[in-house]
Structure 1
Amino acid sequence: MVRIGMLGSGFVADFYMDGLRDVPGTEVVANYSRSEERANEFGRRHGVARQYTTMEDLCADREVEMVVIGLPNHLHLPAVRAAAAERKAIVCTKPLARNGHEAADMVNLARDAGVMHAYAETEVFSPDVMRARQMIESGAIGDVLTVRAREAHSGPHAQHFWDAETAGGGALLDMGCHTVEAARYFFGKEHRIKDVFAWGATMVHNDRTTGEDNAVLLLRLEDGRTSLTEASWTAKGGMELRNEIYGTMGRIVTDTSSTRLRAFIQQPAGYLMEKADAEVGWVFPIPDEARVYGYHEEMRHFVDCFVKGEQPREDFIDGYIVNSVLDAAYKSMKSGHWEAVHIDTKVADG
Structure 2
Amino acid sequence: MASVVRIGLIGSGFVSTFYMQGLKDVAGHEVKIVASPHAERSEAFAKRWNIPEWTTDIDGTIRRTDLDLIILGVPNFVHAELAVKCAQAGKNVVCTKPLARNKQEAKRMLEAVKAAGVLHGYAETEVFSPAVMKAREFIERGSIGKVLMVRSREAHAGPHADWFWQKELAGGGALLDMGCHMVEAARYFVGKDNPIVEVLAWGDRLYHHDRTDAEDNAVLLMRFEGGQLAIAETSWTARGGLDLRNEVYGTDGAIFTDVTRETGIRVFALKGAGYIVEKGETDIGWLIPPIEEAWVYGYREEMKHFVECVAQNTMPRETFEDGYIVNCVLDAAYRSMATKQWERVDYN
TM superposition score normalised by structure 2: 0.97
> Superposition pairs for residues 172-187 of structure 1, below 5 Å?
172-187=175-190
Instruction: Describe how 1:245-264 pairs up with structure 2 within 5 A.
Output: 245-258=248-261, 259-264=263-268
Q: 1:273 aligns with which of 273, 277, 280?
A: 277
Match status 1:240 vs 2:239: no
Tell me the distance in 1 between the aligned counterparts of 2:112 and 2:58. Answer: 16
How many aligned positions are there?
344
User: Shift in Å at residue 271 of structure 1?
Assistant: 1.4
Please list every run of at least 4 consecutive aligned residues from structure 1 whose deviation after the TM superposition is greater than 2 angstroms: none
- 3-state SS, counterpart of residue 342 of structure 1: coil
Alpha-carbon distance in structure 1 between the residues aligned to 2:36 and 2:58: 8
Does residue 1:213 correspond to 2:221, yes or no? no
Which residue pairs with 2:117 in the alignment? 114
The offset of 1:57, in angstroms, is: 1.1
Matches within 5 A, 1:139-178: 139-178=142-181
- Please name the residue that 2:12 is paired with: 9
Cα root mean square deviation, aligned: 0.8
From 86, 95, 98, the counterpart of 2:98: 95
Alignment of 1:319-330 (within 5 A): 319-330=323-334
> For residues 272 and 122 of structure 2, what CA distance do their matches in structure 1 show?
36
Aligned residue for 1:347? none
> Is 1:195 paired with 2:198?
yes
Cα offsets for 1:243-282 (capped at 9, x unmatched): 1000000000011213111111122222111010112111
- 1:331 to 2:323 alignment: no
1:132/1:252 contact within 8 Å kept:
yes
Aligned equivalent of 1:341, options 326, 336, 345? 345
How far is 1:85 from its partner?
A: 2.0
Superposed CA deviations along residues 105-146 of structure 1, whole A, max 9, x for unmatched, are 000111111100000000000000000000000000000000
Q: Which residue of 2 aligns with 1:348?
A: none
Report the TM-score, using the length of structure 1 for normalisation: 0.97
Identify the range of structure 1 (213-222 vs 283-292) with the bigger mean alpha-carbon deviation: 283-292
SS in 1 for 2:187: helix
| Counterpart Cα distance in 1 of 2:53 and 2:93 | 19
Asked if the contact 1:55/1:82 (under 8 Å) is kept, the reply is: no
Alignment correspondent of 1:34: 37
1:65–1:88 contact (8 Å) kept in structure 2: yes
2:139 is matched with 136
SS of the aligned residue for 2:275 comes to coil
CA offset at residue 32 of structure 1?
A: 1.0
CA distance in 2, matches of 1:236, 1:96: 27
Q: Which of 310, 328, 338 lines up with 1:306 in the alignment?
A: 310
CA distance in 1, matches of 2:159, 2:272: 21
**Distance in 1 between residues matched to 2:347 and 2:85, nearest whole Å:** 26
CA–CA separation in structure 2 for the residues paired with 1:114 and 1:55 = 22
- Does residue 47 (structure 1) correspond to residue 50 (structure 2)? The answer is yes
CA contact (8 A) 1:194 1:222 kept: yes
* Distance (Å, rounded) in 2 between the aligned partners of 1:142 and 1:222: 18
Letter in 1 for 2:144: I
State the shift of 1:31 in Å: 0.5
SS of alignment partner, residue 314 of structure 1: coil
Q: Name the structure 2 match of 1:317.
A: 321
Matched residue SS, 1:306: helix
- Give, in angstroms, the shift of residue 223 of structure 1: 2.1
**What one-letter code is carried by the residue in structure 2 that aligns with 1:163?**
Q
Note if 1:21 corresponds to 2:24: yes
Residue pair 2:68, 2:310 contacting (<8 A) in 1 also: no
